[in-house]
Structure 1
């Protein structure tokens, strides 16, 4: 089978537009040229991809092929973009995938130090959760990853720091008032007083109350800025590490429950032991506290 990328891109565009004329406007080609390419593609595949000649409805095979076409064209476009970025950045490039709290609390100082050493090197930061960090490293979309982990779990990568997990709540909310009444001698059960804004760090707290509230939560956010914004708006309370909230604006309170204290670790990870060279290795070495 001699399937070309152009066939996949043309087919995906026709499927998205629903008509040859619509695809013609997007691709800048005549409807007849697009129709001819689709016919060649279907001949290569060996079965129809559209239910009718109007191109508005896919066959079951067409839907499967569309999913694969989108994946293939997206991967190609990402590769081309990466090549262009590398070509423009003659001094090199460092790609970092990090959990949001590390992006807020850890990376600014590291970037500042790195830029003094390598001012011409391009730095790309992806702000994602730990699972996505690992996936980006696996797909070679990042050189260095920074993940959150529970202390005592099987070691992954190299520990950078550990800090306390605590409750972040609105300054005028029920949790704040209850915490003040107990004079700080409170536990994770205070989270029952407000809706929980869930996030992946909740999984690092070994407490049955938190586990139950995580399952029942109807609002989840994975970005530190979004979580704090939601807390300030009175949508509920959440769980964050101290480093993520210490420099945040007014309107929220953070405290570490006196009962069942929990910590998280930030760890730096890479694909292989000797996978880093040049600027990426220098950035890796700066990620220490």
Structure 2
């Protein structure tokens, strides 16, 4: 009899539970059925996997078989989950991982246009930073991603939007007063506590690295950053498009030393096939 996946799964559960009855309850089977499956597995291997009939201690061979059983059953479960996700995606769900600034700038308009032609599709939006977007695409946790990079720096994806980066600060703070008096510069960030976010690292100015190293407040959500600046907790770096509708308390200052532009790029795993709904959203970008 060939070894079957169910034998490996049964053995794994028994080994992890350390008792036949507990394993049988977890598997939803009778103890005698579980015992028979273990016997079949040991017969095929030709050696015992447990030191005693109590199933609470593995033989050295049993330890090795447990490692391989865990690997095999985890891989199978992962494949089943992936198949289920692909089936859902084909049926009408699209998983999109996107940087926070894009969720309040370009994404609402794209979704509105997409809904006109695909109103039946469910869109699941994950609001994360660029590194997390790339991880989700790599691990098949998202179908489509939108990342943010300095203009000309990235090698992946297609550019779908570009705008300028600048300093978001409070109108009553030192940065805004100095910018009004002497012109904008990235060195103005030295006048107030910096609120770090991934976009700060896109600015190629020598004052930025030491400021980030000494920073004690970081946020990745654009709404949170706006709230912190309004509360007078410091200043941060954001794209112009993310601060188009500013409240009276804050201001946007755009330094030109250097002028820094960021790009939004759409990315996908080219080795994977997108379902019709996801392919349509990709095209809409």
CA distance in 2, matches of 1:149, 1:205: 10
Which of 221, 232, 235 is equivalent to 1:237?
235
Partner of 1:151 in structure 2?
151
| Unpaired segments ≥5 residues, structure 1 | 16-25, 29-63
Partner of 2:161 in structure 1?
161
1:94 matches 2:94: yes
Report the alpha carbon displacement of residue 259 of structure 1 after superposing the two structures with TM: 2.9
CA distance in 1, matches of 2:149, 2:270: 19
Partner of 1:187 in structure 2?
185
Report the alpha carbon displacement of residue 102 of structure 1 after superposing the two structures with TM: 0.8
Partner of 1:207 in structure 2?
205
CA distance in 1, matches of 2:177, 2:101: 29
Report the alpha carbon displacement of residue 282 of structure 1 after superposing the two structures with TM: 2.1
State the Cα RMSD in Å: 4.7
Partner of 2:85 in structure 1?
82
Partner of 1:270 in structure 2?
268
Deviations, residues 1-52 of structure 1 (Å, cap 9, x unaligned): x9989x99xx99xx9xxxxxxxxxx999xxxxxxxxxxxxxxxxxxxxxxxx
Report the alpha carbon displacement of residue 117 of structure 1 after superposing the two structures with TM: 0.4
Partner of 1:253 in structure 2?
251
Partner of 1:111 in structure 2?
111
| Alpha carbons of structure 1 residues 118 and 177: separation in structure 2 relative to 1, 3 Å | same
Report the alpha carbon displacement of residue 151 of structure 1 after superposing the two structures with TM: 1.3
1:50-65 equivalences in 2 (<5 Å): none
Report the alpha carbon displacement of residue 254 of structure 1 after superposing the two structures with TM: 1.5
Name the count of aligned residue pairs.
Answer: 274
| Alpha carbons of structure 1 residues 3 and 104: separation in structure 2 relative to 1, 3 Å | farther
Q: What is the TM-score when the length of structure 1 is the normalising length?
A: 0.69
| Unpaired segments ≥5 residues, structure 2 | 17-25, 29-66
CA distance in 1, matches of 2:230, 2:222: 12
Determine helix, strand or coil for the equivalent of 2:85: helix
Report the alpha carbon displacement of residue 188 of structure 1 after superposing the two structures with TM: 1.1
Which has the larger Rg?
2
CA distance in 1, matches of 2:229, 2:179: 22
Report the alpha carbon displacement of residue 103 of structure 1 after superposing the two structures with TM: 1.2
1:217 matches 2:220: no
Determine helix, strand or coil for the equivalent of 1:195: coil
CA distance in 2, matches of 1:250, 1:277: 45
CA distance in 1, matches of 2:233, 2:77: 36
8 Å contact 2:175–2:191 — kept in the other structure?
Answer: no
Determine helix, strand or coil for the equivalent of 1:112: helix
Deviations, residues 174-195 of structure 1 (Å, cap 9, x unaligned): xx54455445412111111221
Report the alpha carbon displacement of residue 72 of structure 1 after superposing the two structures with TM: 7.8
Report the alpha carbon displacement of residue 135 of structure 1 after superposing the two structures with TM: 1.0
Determine helix, strand or coil for the equivalent of 1:219: coil
Q: What is the TM-score when the length of structure 2 is the normalising length?
A: 0.70
Report the alpha carbon displacement of residue 233 of structure 1 after superposing the two structures with TM: 2.2
1:22-41 equivalences in 2 (<5 Å): none
CA distance in 1, matches of 2:269, 2:87: 23
